[in-house]
Amino acid sequence: MTLWFTLIGGIVFSAGTGVALGAALGITGLVILQFYSNGATSLAIDAIWGVFNSFTLSAVPMFILLGEILLRSGISEKAYSAFSPLFRRVPGGLLHTNIAVCTLFGAVSGSSLSTAAAVGSVAYPEMAKRGYNKDMVVGSLAGGGTLGLLIPPSLSFLIYGALTETSIGRLFAAGIVPGLLVGAMFMAYILVRCIRNPSLAPRDPHSSTLWEIILGLRQIWPLLALIAGVIGTIVLGLATPTEAAGVGVVLAVIISSIWGDLTFSKLIEAIYNSVLLFSAVGFLVLGATILAQSVSILGLPQKILEVVAESGLGTYSVLLLVVLIYLVMGCFFDGLSLMIMTLPVVFPLLTGLGFDAIWIGVIITIVIEIGQVTPPVGLNLSVLTSLTNNQVSLGRVAYATVPYWLIHLFAILLLTLFPALALFLPNLLF
């Protein structure tokens, strides 16, 4: 009991003092190693070296840089223009374009926040000017932005794979079908809402010919080439994630310079912001690694499994409990921080109950996506509130995102009932 008090109390107290979450996790882990493992704090150094010497983790800064380059290149504007004619006559119009472009941009950025910011900065001013319901606009952007974490390349999958020693290629393949499925459900919701209430999305009086649609979609071939160059090489086993990320950065610079408006100063800014973001993520990983080492040495995951077995809770009852805990904690932590902090306990618990490691990665990613649109910390909500110049308050953005929140929960239910939705492609390709 004292150990659990130290574990939970140490994290809460450290984080409550304003210390960075990575430091809170690391300090708690060191305290446990010192006082409950006979002063074996040196083991933390071995664990840190093992994780940061991982070839998989080296892909993370490269994918962060890839997303930052695309965010500053103006490519999102061209992608938005390319998709607009396709949905011009569909009820919902540009709201569907928001989801489609978020899906495409998510397939090259790997970040939920970058996706929401890049697409939102283009979409909101244009749609507000055309008379679209502002709440529907920000709701679609907040929901669509979360696809950046689920559709590969995903920072969530990269970090999950590095910390759990799970195949990145299989994780990326597992995210494709659920990501497209969630995007399709978003569009279905928008379609139904706009059929029932056409005033939410004014219909465009101009119809697009097939040739205009083809010409528009032809503009996005550089992004498709980038996706094929990065995701395709990983999924087909032609390159490691790090090698593919390096190729992706080079291609992104070339494409953004020719097709977009990337300048040298913007490239330097992208590199600078990438260093800052990876430093924050890396510090979190460092702290979580120390904590994981401490709980592993003391056999806490095994003790939790024993408690679960003795409690009589069924396998899916435990899964439901884990999802509920993530939903509550998602109100207070950003998604990646929450995942890194909880994996040391949650991963061995769920794998011990017989769940597939790849499937767990997809489920956890969807749950932390929900945290991206859950106040008060939901980062996508804050970004979109800023993009609207506070014309739409944080509360209104959060309320408009509730349907997308529920669709994510429905996706978890579908994946629980039909795990093959996530596992079909990895089993087929690997």
Confidence grade of residue 205 (pLDDT, cut at 50, 70, 90): low
Cα separation of 97 and 93, whole Å? 7
Cα separation of 253 and 335, whole Å? 28
How does pLDDT run across 285-298, given as a tens digit for each residue? 777 777 777 777 76
- The end-to-end CA distance of the chain, in Å, is 44
Confidence grade of residue 109 (pLDDT, cut at 50, 70, 90): low
Regarding predicted confidence, which is higher, 107 or 367?
Answer: 367
For residue 414, is pLDDT > 90? yes
49 near 28, Cβ under 8 Å?
A: no
- Cβ neighbours of 94 (radius 10 Å): 24
In this predicted structure, what is the pLDDT of residue 188?
92
Cα separation of 252 and 283, whole Å? 27
Q: What is the DSSP string of 50-99?
A: HHHT-TTTTHHHHHHHHHHHHHTTTHHHHHHHHHGGGGTTSTTTHHHHHH
Regarding predicted confidence, which is higher, 397 or 113?
Answer: 397
Confidence grade of residue 413 (pLDDT, cut at 50, 70, 90): very high
How does pLDDT run across 299-342, given as a tens digit for each residue? 666 666 666 666 767 788 888 888 888 887 777 666 777 787 77
Q: What percent of the chain has pLDDT over 70?
A: 81
Q: Nearest CA to 141 among 338, 334, 374, 387? A: 387
In this predicted structure, what is the pLDDT of residue 14?
62
- Sequence-distant (6+) residues with CB within 8 A of 176 are 151, 152, 425
- Sequence-distant (6+) residues with CB within 8 A of 261 are 73, 74
Regarding predicted confidence, which is higher, 425 or 201?
Answer: 425
Average pLDDT over residues 350-368: 89
pTM: 0.78
Cα separation of 40 and 33, whole Å? 5
How does pLDDT run across 248-281, given as a tens digit for each residue? 888 888 888 887 777 888 888 888 888 887 787 7
Average pLDDT over residues 73-92: 74
Cα separation of 70 and 72, whole Å? 5
CA distance readout (Å), 162 to 39, 304, 376:
27, 23, 29
Whose tokens are 């882990």? That residue is 29
Summary mean pLDDT of the chain? 78
In this predicted structure, what is the pLDDT of residue 300?
65
Q: Which of left, alpha, beta for 334 (phi over 0: left; psi -120 to 50: alpha)?
A: beta
Among 71-80, 204-213, 265-274, name the one with the lowest average pLDDT.
204-213
Average pLDDT over residues 49-64: 73
> Is the bond leading into 178 cis (omega within 30 degrees of zero)?
no
Confidence grade of residue 418 (pLDDT, cut at 50, 70, 90): very high
Average pLDDT over residues 171-179: 88
422: tokens are 């996530």
